[in-house]
Structure 1
Amino acid sequence: MNNFSFYKDGKAFYCLFFLVFFLSFPPVSASSIERRSLSFFQQHQVQGTITDGTSPLPGVTIAIKSKLQSSTISDFTGQYSLLASPSDTLVVSFMGFKTAFVPVNGRTTVNVKLGFDTTTLQEVRVNAGYYSTKQSERTGSIAGITSKDIEIQPVTNVLAAMQGRMAGVSITQTTGIPGGNFEIKIRGQNSLRAEGNAPLYIIDGVPYASDPIGSAQISTLFPYATGALNGINPEQIQSIEVLKDADATSIYGSRGANGVVLITTKKGKSGKTKFTLSASSGTGKVTQFVKMMDTNQYLSMRRRAFANDGITDYPESAYDINGTWDQNRNTNWQKELLGGTSLFTDMQGSVSGGSANTNFYLSGNYHSESTVFPGDFLYKKGGGQFNMNHQSEYQKFKIQFSAGYTLQDNDQPSFDLTTEARTIAPNAPELYNPDGTLNWANSTWQNPLRYLPAKFESKTHDFLANTVLSYEILPGLLLKTSMGYTNLRHGETRLNPSTIYDPAFHVGSSSSSLILGSTSRNSWIIEPQLNWERAIGNHKLGLLLGGTFQQQSTAQLVESGTGFSSNSLIYNLAAASRIKILTDNAILYKYQAFFGRLNYNWKERYIVNLTARRDGSSRFGPGNQFATFGAIGAGWLFSKESFLTEFSWLSFGKLRGSYGTTGSDQIGDYQFLDTYATSGVLYGGKSGLAPSRLYNPNFAWETNRKLELALESGFLQDRIFFTAAWYRNRSSNQLVGIPMPGTTGFSSLQSNLEATVQNAGWEFTLRTVNLSKGSFGWTSSLNLSFSRNKLLRFPGLEGSTYSEKYRLNAPLNITLLYEYTGIDPKTGLYQFRDINNDGKISFPDDKQIVMDLNPQYYGGLQNQLSYKGWSLDFLFQFVKQKNVNYPVGATGEMYNQPEVTQHAWQQPGDLRPYQIQTAGYNFDALSAGSLYSESTASISDASFIRLKNISLWYDLPLKQTKCRLMIQGQNLLTFTGYRDGDPEFTSFGSLPPLRVITAGVQFTF
């Protein structure tokens, strides 16, 4: 297949590009040229200081009214400078202050004092990706946070900084292991495939692949592999915007179905050179343990279990109860194996500054984090970022360059000890012998520390660079080109030396094994754009045309080796007696698109926004490589209508709506081709090939149709600002595995199915200025999301292999359960409803109760208080949900159980919450226990309110240097009725999230 075939559509784009280019030139006379030149060369340098009357204001935007693209930002001391004509008017705007319009009147020094005002939120410009728009004039659904929200959190992953702060954005931490991953869903799950629900990430205009880093062979064994977004340093982020509805995402076409996350890094500011240094350190502990039995409770359970089974002589293998192990010894294994303290260290440094035409920003960072496991394990991350902006003397030509590099070095135990910590008997032996060697207790147990020499090590090099060139051909006509490059190199090692085995078994180094994986990913992107804006009376028109040309290549090699002559040679694959190549892939992905936007604004009251994109992807078969996506958005600023001007309590009001389509090409590469893999079977001394995938040329796009209606309103000069949005997204043409007859040699064929998934819900946000008087300020922000996911259509569901996974008109994230009816007081066994009345409990006929595990609602409440040099910020995250309990099943065997299970049935007539205990000889009890863990009894309310983040800082009253003292906390308190550990995180075999507290200092001079 020729992957370049879809580039042919580029001819139409270039024809349209030059047509608009030449039509945009108005007739120009010689006299007008002379007048323009004279006015142009009369520009001079204007400088000054921006204050609030008492102190300088950094970060204030100063622009020229006639050409707002000519702007600058005040530095740390409030100073600014820019070129302006004597007759120009400066527009000075800053969040929380009234916008000031200050005539230059020929002055070279213009100092400005801003007055406080809460209505400036409407004037803030929002990043929408290919363009920016005023907050008051946007027609799409865009949520965002800034560096002020990010810097106060002791987190290493950008997704952690977003938790609980955005309506419609659900983020869950998947592990507490350093460098681990997070799961994000923007307005629910659109695809039947779990891997098809990730949003599109854009960093400074460059797409950033969110595919899992590393190989499936290693991550399957080691589920807490490096998170894909850990290469982004949260401290270097200026803002994050999340695009949600069709109006905001359709311009990204086939990659906007699951939302778009725009990340903008910090930039330099003109003015005095500023240095910033910060350092912090802290500790982390597991948030919450499952309350397990102590030795007395555990041995009581074991004795009762043997008695119930009619066994009086304990077997030789029952070391915990037959006297082999000390029955007075008690160890809380969760505290022993997971109760360590993780140490955090962070250092940041930056320098920024520049002239009116050139500014720069250079920063570096270092982070280290140990684990709560025993042993010396460390996750380290360091990197740097550079940004430079330059404009020509007359501000026609501009260049922006940014580059960032991050190195991650992760050293962790090769096995998560969480399962061991929750199952080992509390009277198990000591971990170490008196001489410091591991205690195997005469081969009566598997010492959990045996896993420590088995290591998982990974190193990730991540580089991203972007250059934007722009030229203002005429006032309002801008030609721009964005060029980006990314390079990721990831290596990982998983080793199992023979020392993880009991030496009594005389296992030699020949049993040692090693898995090596390496991944290399390179991509480039070029996006030429033409932007035209024109204002004629009450009419404003904006036109954007652009194209995208992208290519990404990925190479992956995974090798394994076993049978080493010595453990000292285990890192040398050549020393293995058996070497096997598990994966050797080379993948090329090509993508092309043409996009456009037309925006019309009349009287700043009525706004219409049209977006469209024509996409081509090499991931689809011939004839299906191209698709067109588009959207329409509209807004009515009804607060500007004359009949409402007398209502002074209404400061802002807008109705907006949108409808359009987006798509998804998250299907992997070469999925439509028939492919082959080495069979591993030798014929004539050569390895043969075996088919691994069937050809399907009809592979096509998953399509998401999005509809939204929203109200935005401000009251009392926006001291109260409220938004409400209703949305409905329908994702169809789902790519799923269609079952195939066994005679074909394949169980399924990846193909499109007319299945439809719907996500609908409500989102509310409320921002209030509770108090703003003198030196004291208090603001609050609340976001609340209600979301309902359901499967609308799935032709042939009942006869497919998905019949026991999905249900029509039910959410995708469900579990099918047996219906638990209680305990038979006579036999002491769990009982379940016989749905098909056949006299027995069987799968799948009786496992038909649908349990929805999606959150009913979620959100966050943030408060910010300030008094003179003191500031306090705290966020409560809340979720209403059900989740899985700790797996109990049958109790009484040789592994620990939650403390509550001691309340078990003992004799006929008992009414207890848990059934009769068995040491493993009562097969009816074992069977009932297995059904119990898959029944409605295994689900409970896991709702919680969590003090997600708190930050307290104080700015010392120094003159020349700004010194800030900080205390930060993450996951501090959790209020929940859920008894089985952390309510957010129910993967019982993995480490829960950590409670982190840090303290630090920051100097700016």
Structure 2
Amino acid sequence: MKKKRTIHGPGGLWAKLFLVMRLAIFLFFAFVFGAQAKSFSQSSKLTLDLTKTRLIDVLNEIEEQSDYYFYFNLDLNNYQVEQVNVKDKEIRDVLSTVLTDLGLDYEVVDRYIVIKKTGDLTGRNESSKAGQQKGITGKVSDSTGAPLPGATVVVKGTTQGTITDADGNYLLPNVPSDAVLLFSFVGMKTQEVAVAGQTSINVRLVEDAIGIEEVVAVGYGTMKKSDLTGSVSQVEGDDLKNVAVRTAADALQGRSAGVMVTSTSGSPGSMGAVRIRGVGTVNNNDPLFVVDGLPQSNIGWLNPNDIQSIEILKDASATSIYGARAANGVIMVTTKKGSSGKEYKSKVEFDMYIGFQNPEKRYNMLNAEEFMEFKNRAYTATGQALLDDFSTPEKREQILQFLEKNTGSREGTDWWKEIMHKNAPMQSYNVALSGGLEKLSYHSSLGYMSQDGIVKASDYERISWRNTLNADLAKWFKMSANVGIIYEDRRNVSESNPYNGTIFSAMTADPITPVYRNNLVDVPAFLESKLMTGYEPSNPFSQYAGVLYSNKPNPVAQVELMGENVWEGISVKSGLTGDLNLFPWLKFRSNFGLDLHRGLSKGFTPKYYLDGDQNATDATVGRRYYSTNYWVWDNTLTFDKTFDLHRVLVMVGTSAEENKYEETGASKQGTINNDEDQRIINAASKNPGADGYDVTSSMNSYFGRLFYTYRDRYLFTFNIRRDGSSNFAEGNRWGVFPSFSLGWVFSEEEFMKKYDFLNMGKLRFGAGEIGNHNIGSGAYLSTYGNSDYYTFGNPRMPYLSGGRNSVGNPNIQWETTRQFDVGLDLGFLNNKLTLTADYFVKTTDDMLVQVPLPSSYGYPNTPWTNAGSIENKGFEFELGFRESIRDFNFSIDANLFTFKNKVISLGGGEPINGSTHLGNMTHTRTEVGEPIGYFYGWKTDGIFQTQAEIDAYANSEGELIQPTAQPGDLKFQDINGVDEDGNIVAGPDGALNDADRVMVGNPFPDFTYGFTLAADYKGFDVSLFFQGSVGNDILNILKYDIRSGAGWYNAPNDMLDIAWNGPGTSNEQFAISANSRQNLQMSDWYVEDGSYIRLKNVQLGYTIPQSVLKALNNHSIRVWVGGQNLFTVTDYSGLDPEIGSSDPKFMGIDQGFYPQARIFMMGINASF
């Protein structure tokens, strides 16, 4: 049909807006052109020849042959027409013939035809003689406060009624004072309101799950949710208004079973790691993001206010249409569009919030006096001489007096407080204009968001402008275009590794060092040279003091230095789509997408000297430029026709894409000074450097889909895609990825009709293959380049030589993921209660890995190969409940996800070790039979309390198992042994060695969950969103440094109390000692339970009554207050239990990353 008329799906804002506009036009013409209806209806001639088809298809055909539009406030999907065979007949005769036998009637107003049940009314008002008569006025709106044109208002038990006008207003004269009014609208729950003497009654209708047909986006099209045979979850854009998320990825956390979103950093503008149904490879596990048909690597740039809906495609039957890029799942984002209508009408929306942020948790470290005691205790334990500065009470007192005079406190410097931005502000403003005419619609939005980080000198700013335009150029041709421009600006502090991260430095720097060294007074003589060496009063970067006793950079100086480095980028993302209706059942679509990105990193390191570790002899200026040009062109041909009780949809298509990435960098040293005007490369004088590279990759694809349904009860879907990728060599570039799925709506079977408590029941089954080619371009090629200089000849002269830069493998091919899925969808209590459950098995074969090679091979890199298999299997559960009791509405949504990850095979069978830190030992391992990246080390059995316990821990020959241990040390377990062939065997062998290193923790949770509680009552609304995980472990690497007991760095302020200090004093924290002995080896002592539950979001809102807004001509104004990350319940001792990583081999490792903030917010949502 020309336009979609029915509303199917809660929160279907685009459908509601569409119907609002169309009904507004109808009502306008009903008043203006009502007298012309009859004469106009006789002027059109129709020719139809249809047999055993749906009424909706007949109306489609009438619209195609005429200038008429149909409206209906009822579901017509179940009305069947046996036969229509007319030639050159007037529309009045055709409609009478078709509708009479179906118990339907119609009214014609100019070009608009209202379909209704026979005897229903649209505007008649009949008097009731019971009770005193009076007129009732009011307004009907939806759950958001937007008006509902065309809603029905009826006096219960009579035929007296009316419909609301374009603004949702109604007038019902002569209503008995004891009457009851019924308010109804398609897709909404009917409400009854007693008149009880009132003369004005305003009603807000809420979505009703009964009979609703949600439409969801799938690959290269849309489908009714009831027709889905794959596993697809949906997040509505309207839901995001109650969470005020900063990035689109935040909207996914805890909202859907099977989707894990974990924070990789709390730094402003950062995007969490998104994982769908576990981790299927040791490489990139990011899903494919598709925004309005344009594939993306992430959606951190997308303004959440522009989102209409998010669909998460999880199993192979849903994702295989995207082939090689869909192994990790697909997240499809549909942005907001405008709505069309006969006369021009627009809508303006304004959304804003402001807020402030603080750390949710902090470490309380030792003060100056405690730190000196801690340091002395560590040296005393090993018999070493005390550090001279702390060796006497007099010196220690001098230090405390020095701190009191220069910092105002004897406790010294609180570095955490110094780097933190108290009440860091954030703000967001968005305005959108949408509307249209009969054959034209538009939506334009402008958004601004800025966020200062809780760590100083970290911030993020985003400006986004997005526009969409849809035009019906002819009955057979439509076009749509969208373009978005995004500007981003970001400053981040250092958090790349545990040795130079700003958070780490703030926790480890000693409290005796002052922040600044300018204007110091009464500096003790033994500190003078340490503090003042290299100080230049004219250099502002020289004002910071070098850290005295922790061998770490001054955290405040580090923040300021990193603040000189800025990244900024601008992106243009656009799409152009043409739809050609060849026949009512055959459509061709062509879509071209373009993504252009330009980025610039500006770096500056000033000339300065703080100490031997924190200095630069020359100022350095650097610039790095990034450029991405990506285009994709998709073409599809879709056949969709219903034959009696059968529906067949066949879609075939092609896709071509290319991505060109360029990066160029330059740097130079030796500016005259550190002034702003010197921070350009031309101002520097020496040591120029430059580098750069460019990479181009491309893909060609052919794909298709077959969908068949019988009686809307038996469903079958088949997808296939053939991809050719330039990432592989000739002969290995093409891969084929098929899938199929079946659905059975058993609730429609006759034998189920007697179970009236079950309203919806569908069983799903699917299986298929999908691919992965994310290894970068050219991995199959060996490259050569300039190498070192060699000297030859007499006299000897240097000659530039050549050599391999990298070794490729021309035999690498697709990584293939096979999935099996069984799902169940249930609806009870008129679909107020819904349940979805899925079981899946996901196996990745021919995994692309870089298997380590012996250094004797002389390879400059580790080449890629297909060697490995990983399995993920688990369950997903989603539960929803909605209820309305008069003016009180509430809902509960919950989800739970549990899975197991296991490595089935690896190339050569050798484990893949992660990086080292703890005692220079590997702390993660990927090994056959275990999960990816499990924590690998020794198990402990408490702390040795006495020498007698150490002596008793011996083998059968009397040899001590831990001969170097001392009382207060960790006791490591002897678990395994080694046979004569060097193989590890179970059982102790009386010695500690690598055979005793085992799995001591698993970063994957037993299950993750999320649940939302929401309610509203007479304009007030509240929502609470909780999210968490159970059973995951965290490797707290920070404990290696801040709880080492060695005195290298500062320590938590409970260290002196909980550390072992004699027999029976502690079995929790080993002894403080400058000799770390074996305590700092990788063991389960560093592994903690990371389970948590977090109040992720809470919001309390109030929608101002329409009676107040009438004078302002506003549709809706809602004010709200809320918060995010307000509290977290966990046993984890670190700053934040939500620890993510983009690398699956390093999940769950806390290296002192930037924590998430607690946020308090207030905002406004308005439309007019």
Q: In structure 1, what is the equivalent of residue 432 of structure 2?
A: 350
Within the alignment, does 1:946 sit opposite 2:1100 as a pair?
A: no
Match of 1:591 among 696, 699, 702: 699
Q: Which residue of 2 aligns with 1:456?
A: 565
Q: Contact 1:739/1:747 (CA < 8 Å) preserved in 2?
A: no
State how 1:241-390 maps to structure 2 within 5 Å. Answer: 241-271=311-341, 272-311=345-384, 313-316=386-389, 322=396, 325-326=399-400, 328-338=410-420, 340-374=422-456, 378-390=459-471
SS of the aligned residue for 2:1125 comes to strand
How many percent of aligned residue pairs carry the same amino acid? 26
Unaligned runs of 5+ in 2: 1-45, 51-57, 69-109, 115-121, 124-136, 151-163, 170-183, 192-202, 402-409, 496-500, 521-536, 792-796, 915-921, 947-966, 978-987, 1140-1148
Partner secondary structure for residue 136 of structure 1: helix
1:378-527 correspondence to structure 2 within 5 Å = 378-392=459-473, 394=475, 396-413=476-493, 416-431=501-516, 433-434=518-519, 444=548, 447-451=554-558, 452-454=560-562, 455-499=564-608, 501-502=609-610, 510-527=617-634
1:77 Cα deviation after fit: 4.1
Provide, for residues 72-131 of structure 1, a one-character-per-residue CA deviation record: whole Å limited to 9, x for no partner.
xx999469xxxxxxxxxxxx98654489xxxxxxxxxxxxx9986633475111111212
Letter in 1 for 2:1122: Q
Q: Distance in 2 between matches of 1:796 and 1:708?
A: 31
What corresponds to 2:533 in structure 1?
Answer: none
Residue number among 216, 238, 258 corresponding to 1:148 in the alignment: 238
Q: Retained in 2: the 8 A contact 1:789–1:812?
A: yes
Indicate whether 1:744 and 2:857 are aligned: yes
- Unpaired runs of at least 5, structure 1: 1-29, 63-73, 80-91, 100-112, 211-228
Q: Distance in 2 between matches of 1:502 and 1:799?
A: 44
Report the Cα distance in structure 2 between the residues aligned to 1:756 and 1:38, rounded to whole angstroms: 55
What residue number does 2:968 align with? Answer: 828
Q: Which has the higher contact order (CA 8 A, sep 6+)?
A: 1
- Partners of 1:480 and 1:529 within 8 A in 2: yes
Count of aligned pairs between the two proteins: 909
- Is the 1:95–1:124 contact (alpha carbons within 8 Å) kept by the matching residues of 2? no
Contact 2:249–2:300 (8 Å) recurs in 1: no
Q: Does 1:162 align with 2:316?
A: no
CA gap of 1:97–1:46, structure 2 versus 1, over 3 A, is farther
1:46 equivalent in structure 2: 112
- Paired residue secondary structure (1:917): coil
Q: Distance in 1 between matches of 2:777 and 2:1104?
A: 56
Q: Shift in Å at residue 641 of structure 1?
A: 0.3
- The answer for the alignment partner of 2:199 in structure 1 is none
Question: Would you say the 8 A contact 1:425–1:894 is kept in 2?
Answer: no
Report the TM-score when normalising by structure 2.
Answer: 0.73
Q: Which residue of 2 aligns with 1:240?
A: 310
Q: Which amino acid aligns with 1:426?
A: P
Q: String of CA shifts for 1:898-925, please: whole Å, max 9, x gaps.
A: 244331222356444222212x3x3xxx
1:330 Cα deviation after fit? 4.0
**Rounded Cα–Cα distance in structure 2 between residues aligned with 1:587 and 1:893:** 48
Q: 1:571 to 1:33 in 2, by over 3 A?
A: farther
The aligned counterpart of 1:15 is none
Say yes or no: does 1:137 pair with 2:227.
yes
- Distance in 1, matches of 2:443 and 2:63, equals 35
Closer, same or farther: CA 75–346 of 1 in aligned 2, 3 Å:
farther
Give the Cα–Cα distance (whole angstroms) in 1 for the partners of residues 649 and 620 of structure 2.
Answer: 62
* Cα distance in 2 for residues equivalent to 1:838 and 1:640: 65
Superposition pairs for residues 661-740 of structure 1, below 5 Å? Answer: 661-679=769-787, 681=789, 688-740=801-853
Cα contact 1:414–1:456 (8 A) shared by 2 = no
Mean CA deviation greater in 983-992 or 877-886: 983-992
Matching residue of 1:916: 1071
Give secondary structure in 1 for the equivalent of 2:140.
coil
Mapped partners of 1:552, 1:94: distance in 2: 46
Does the CA contact (< 8 Å) of 2:632 and 2:656 recur in 1? yes
The secondary structure found in structure 1 opposite 2:945 is coil
More displaced, 735-744 or 750-759?
735-744
- Aligned-partner SS, 2:419: helix
- For 1:781, the aligned partner's letter is D
Corresponding letter in the other structure for 2:282: L
Query: Aligned runs of 1:526-675 on 2, under 5 Å?
Result: 526-568=633-675, 571-579=679-687, 581=689, 583-675=691-783
Give 1:461 shift. 0.4
1:773 to 873, 885, 888: 885
Shift of 1:202: 0.5
Which letter maps to 1:518?
Y
Q: 1:865 is matched with which residue?
A: 1015
Q: Equivalent residue of 2:708, what SS?
A: strand
Residues 1:795 and 1:393: Cα distance change in structure 2 (over 3 Å):
closer
User: Matches of 2:1093 and 2:912 in 1, distance apart?
Assistant: 40
Give the root-mean-square deviation of aligned CA atoms.
3.4
TM-score (norm 1): 0.84
The Cα of 1:549 is off from its aligned counterpart by: 0.8
- The alpha carbon displacement at 1:896 in A equals 1.6
Partner letter of residue 349 of structure 1?
A: V
Contact 2:935 2:1035 in 1 (8 A): no
> Which amino acid in 1 is paired with 2:869?
T
120 and 130 in structure 1: CA distance in 2 versus 1, 3 angstrom threshold: farther
8 Å contact kept, 1:734–1:756:
yes
Residue in 2 aligned with 1:897? 1051
Deviation at 1:464, TM superposition (A): 0.5
CA contact (8 A) 1:658 1:709 kept: yes
* 2:831 corresponds to 1:761: no
1:41 CA displacement: 2.8
Q: Could you tell me which residue of structure 2 aligns to residue 206 of structure 1?
A: 294
What displacement does 1:427 show? 3.9
Residue 781 of structure 1 and its aligned partner are, at CA, apart by 0.3
Letter of the 2:351 partner, please give it: S
CA distance in 1, matches of 2:233, 2:1088: 32
Mean Cα deviation higher: 398-407 or 146-155: 146-155
**Alignment CA distance shift 1:159-1:47 (3 Å):** farther
Output one character per residue of 1:12-66: Cα deviation in whole Å (capped at 9) or x when no partner: xxxxxxxxxxxxxxxxxx976999899823526439999x99514459899xxxx
Q: Distance in 2 between matches of 1:687 and 1:262?
A: 52
> 2: distance between equivalents of 1:855 and 1:243?
22
**Whose Rg is larger?**
2
Q: Structure 1 residues 987, 532: closer, same or farther in 2, change over 3 A?
A: same
**Cα 1:511/1:828, change in 2 over 3 Å:** same
Cα distance in 2 for residues equivalent to 1:768 and 1:635:
24
| Further displaced range: 407-416 or 38-47 | 38-47
When residues 47 and 938 of structure 1 are mapped into structure 2, their CA distance, relative to the original with a 3 A threshold, is farther
* In 1: Cα distance, 2:588 partner to 2:1099 partner: 43
In the alignment, the residues of structure 2 paired with residue 726 and residue 518 of structure 1 have an alpha-carbon distance, to the nearest angstrom, of: 46
Worse-superposed segment, 830-839 or 594-603: 830-839
Q: Displacement of 1:293 after TM fit?
A: 3.2
1:975 matched to 2:1129 = yes
Out of 936, 957, 966, the residue aligned to residue 816 of structure 1 is 936
> Could you tell me whether the CA contact under 8 Å between 2:368 and 2:400 is conserved in 1?
no
1:314–1:322: 8 Å Cα contact kept in structure 2? no
Match of 2:524 in 1: none
Equivalent position SS for 1:252: helix
Please state if 1:180 is matched with 2:270: yes
Q: Provide the secondary structure at the position in 2 that maps to 1:887.
A: helix
Q: Is 1:906 the counterpart of 2:976 in the alignment?
A: no
SS in structure 1 at match of 2:1062: coil
Paired amino acid for 2:327: A
CA contact (8 A) 2:809 2:865 kept: no
